[in-house]
């Protein structure tokens, strides 16, 4: 890949991550709204404890989904700050690390994703693996899942 292709590739990875996080935010928002609506629609029965328990469970679900939504929003804010128009020679936030059979993109913690028949592990810049990769260069090796991996390229 030439330099422009590398930048375009990283931009596509970032856009994929932006789209995925946005979808997760919307899903969490919808689930929180549904949980709130379900809690609001609980009819008080003669068994008052059952009513209170159902409302409390609905409220707990709403709070859980709201926390997920907030976490995704923080991840999105971090991702917006990642620069993909710069090519890096060491592993830092915004870098793509190419290894045999897998790539690592330090930008957002989305886990393993399949993108155009490639396995990409999206790492949060704060993830332990990302921190272990920081300042490594092409030609360096590191251990991932008990296997030694050679860094073929970083950009």
Q: Give per-residue pLDDT as tens, 8-66.
A: 999 999 999 999 999 999 999 999 888 888 777 765 554 556 656 767 777 788 888 88
Do 21 and 62 belong to one domain?
Answer: yes
Two structure tokens written together for 153: 């390229």
The H or E element that residue 57 is part of is helix 48-80
| pLDDT tens-digit readout, 120-151 | 999 999 999 999 999 999 999 999 999 999 99
Is 44 found in the same domain as 107? no
Find the domain containing 76 and state its range.
Answer: 3-80
Q: Is 63 left (phi over 0), alpha (psi -120 to 50) or beta?
A: alpha
Residue 47 lies in a domain: yes
Whether residue 87 is contained in a domain is answered as no
| 85 domain residue, yes or no | no
Is 88 within a domain? Answer: no
**Tens digits of per-residue pLDDT, 64-95?**
888 999 999 999 999 999 999 999 999 999 99
Predicted TM-score of the model (pTM):
0.84
């Amino acid at each position: 890949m030439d330099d422009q292709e590398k930048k375009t590739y990283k931009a596509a990875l970032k856009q994929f991550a932006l789209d995925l996080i946005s979808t997760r935010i919307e899903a969490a928002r919808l689930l929180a709204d549904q949980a709130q609506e379900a809690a609001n629609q609980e009819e008080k029965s003669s068994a008052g404890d059952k009513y209170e328990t159902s409302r409390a469970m609905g409220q707990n679900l709403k709070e859980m989904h709201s926390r997920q939504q907030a976490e995704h929003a923080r991840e999105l804010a971090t991702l917006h700050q990642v620069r993909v128009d710069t090519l890096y020679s060491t592993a830092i936030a915004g870098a793509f690390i190419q290894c045999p059979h897998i790539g690592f993109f330090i930008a957002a913690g989305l886990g393993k994703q399949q993108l155009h028949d490639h396995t990409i592990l999206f790492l949060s810049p704060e993830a332990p693996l990302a921190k272990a990769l920081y300042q490594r260069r092409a030609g360096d090796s590191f251990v991932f899942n008990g296997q030694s991996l050679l860094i073929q390229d970083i950009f």
